[in-house]
Amino acid sequence: MKMLRTIANFQPSYQDAHLSIDFDRQMVLMDSKPLTFTRKEYELLSFLVAHAGEIVPRETLLTRVWGYNDGVRTRTLDMHLSLLRKKLHPYSGHYIERVFRMGCRFQPCQAVNCAANVA
């Protein structure tokens, strides 16, 4: 639990137009419906939310969420991002942005801009 509090920057919760996260209870709701995540999916989502709006490099995610050393080559991050996007559908295209050759970014959703990005 201590690690998750660190990941979430000591914020007790996150909420926007569609997504809400209670970091203390490790509960995620999408449009008021509970979502189920594996431990690593939840840790990845929590870390991205804690750094919302920032481009987080792959290496940082692999080090901070998985505990890997620098220079490790793995596709586990891509696999977990893909799983997160499936679970955050239909808003995943807005929430999880991959930035080519840099990393990824979590974008908070406001009702006006998020609805426009749902396909």
Give me the CATH number covering residue 36.
Answer: 1.10.10.10
Residue 101 pLDDT: 85
Q: In angstroms, rounded to a whole number, what is the distance separating the alpha carbons of residues 8 and 32?
A: 21
Range of the domain at 32: 2-116
Between CA 64 and CA 43 the distance in angstroms is 10
What's the total number of domains in the chain?
A: 1
Angle at 81 (CA atoms; ends 4, 22), nearest 5 degrees:
30
Close Cβ partners of 54 (under 8 Å, ≥ 6 residues apart) = 105
- For 10-46, the pLDDT digits (tens) are 578 999 989 999 999 999 999 999 999 999 999 999 9
